[in-house]
Amino acid sequence: MVTSPHRAASEAGATVLRAGGNAIEAAVAMGAVLTVTCPHFCGLGGDAVWMVAGADGAVTTFLGVGQAGASAQSHAGTPIPLRGPQAALTTAGAVDSWGHALDFSRSNWQGKLGLSGLLEPAIALAMDGFAITPSQIHWLQQRRAETALWPGFADLFLPRGAIPIAGDRLLQPQLAGSLTAIARHGAREFYEGALAQRIASALADRAVPLTSADLAATHTDQVAPLSLTYRDTTLFAPPAPTQGISTLMTMGILQNFELSGLADSGDQHIHLVVEAIKRAFLHRDGIADPRFVAMDDVAGRLSADGLATLAGTIGPSAMPWPHAFRPADTVFFGAVDDQGRCASVLQSTYFDWGSGVVAGDTGIIWHNRGAAFSSDPAHPNALAPGKRPFMTLNPGIATRHGKPCLVYGTQGADGQPQTLALLLTRLIDLGMTPEAALRAPRFLLGKTFSDARDSLKLEGHVDGAVQHLLAGRGHDVAPIAALSPLAGQAGVIAIAAGGQLSGGHDPRGEGVCLSA
């Protein structure tokens, strides 16, 4: 089974599985298609974080995260813009993560497929075109004033010089050429080959402080995941510099409450999850690249006693909430193969449309993950040469009795731990199916790109009486539309003890879950 935010990507992954490929191979095929069909959320010029699990429940993490260039020190201590060349401070790790994942597949899962075949659907879609999605049109409309200032952007994404309408097709022949070069020469073509030289030259022309040597220094890290036991399930999340620990801390706090008897989306359910999120987020600012800054007391943050102490601070009333907002957009996709092996992946260009910097004639738009660094030189997440920034990406895998049982993840930056906590409590505590859990109402705590208030945004299908009760608890309730795009686009695949699969993708977008 596969799940992704675009039908063409899900079909590419399902085709790989039906032909006998494994979950990693299917995920690479999906990830490549998504760089074509979701250019507003991910691309070759972005990053990726992977969680993979064998049928034996062994879980590992691939951090395909680009690092700041060697010249970054000259920018340290100064404000980092959100868009433009000075936001494009880090290299892009997504393509290298594909190569690393396939190497792992061959060494550990008897994988036989390579990039040459797996990228074919993406290349065809880039060359022949696809119907532009409502999501892409929405984000073009949201950024119309900004995109007019981005050199080369209109040539790639605005057919006929205007925002497209539903049914218009997007052709990306330059991107097809870049994908073809990667398919022919391997993932390192993006970092050390002729394509890398073209990218480096184009970025230099745009005054981006990255060089060919910076690209060549980019490599995926394979690391042990973080884990937490929740009820009878073990939850796995990626370590720093991601916010995976925030999701685990939230669930560890909720472990101290009996949720199984609560009504889904009732005021007590929502209140407890919101308050657990607040306490986890208050411990988030120390997250940074562990190669530069040792994160203090990871074991302590995930200890049962420490989480119980945090849970004990939750009362019937809401804790006041001003907190720094971290925006981002991304895509989640997942796969489970016929042996029960799993891949759970997030790809991202950070903001929608990344930095807005187009890398010459490669068809690649570069991400702005460098804007996630702190401009405070004393901060753990301060900019430094070779350093990876804090990132919100945290795909998840869960095991039960030593076997994978859940693959899950979501778009949404700050909203990722919030949506995941709701999904996991619904799946584990309330016994809901993936489709029901995905359709159920969500909240979003704090600021968004369109609302600067530190309010508790509740989707419109939260019962009116529940909204009133939450307001009575002291939450600053702000209604948003039912099934709002603000609430992220999540995907879930559940694996029952007998191996039966069920899954879904978010009704808030155009994604689909397919059986293979």
Q: Are strands 403-410 and 443-445 parallel, antiparallel or unpaired?
A: unpaired
Residue from 62, 49, 52, 399 nearest 223 by CA: 62
Q: Residue 315 contacts by C-beta under 8 Å, 6 or more apart in sequence?
A: none
Asked if 241 contacts 391 with a C-beta cutoff of 8 angstroms, the reply is yes
Contact 92, 178 (CB under 8 A): no
Element (H, E) at 336: strand 330-336
Residue showing tokens 């030289």: 197
Residues 77, 356, 146: CA angle, nearest 5 degrees: 100
Encoding tokens for residue 465?
Answer: 């009486």
DSSP assignment, residue 35?
H
> How is residue 479 annotated by DSSP?
E
CA distance 102 to 96: 10
Exactly one of 180, 330, 349, 392 is catalytic; which is it? 330
Residue 382 phi, psi (nearest 5): -70, 150
- As a whole number of angstroms, the distance between CA 371 and CA 368 comes to 6
* Alpha-carbon span 383 to 458, nearest angstrom: 35
Query: Can 399 be counted among the known catalytic residues?
Result: no
Q: Give bridge partners of residue 407 from the DSSP assignment.
A: 397, 493
Strand pairing category for 342-348 and 47-53: antiparallel
Buried b / exposed e over 365-379, threshold 16 CB at 10 Å, is bbbbbbbbbbeeeee
Residue for token pair 């155009």 = 510
Spatial contact of 47 and 342, defined as CB atoms under 8 Å apart:
no
Structure tokens at 104: 């792992």
Residues that are catalytic: 330
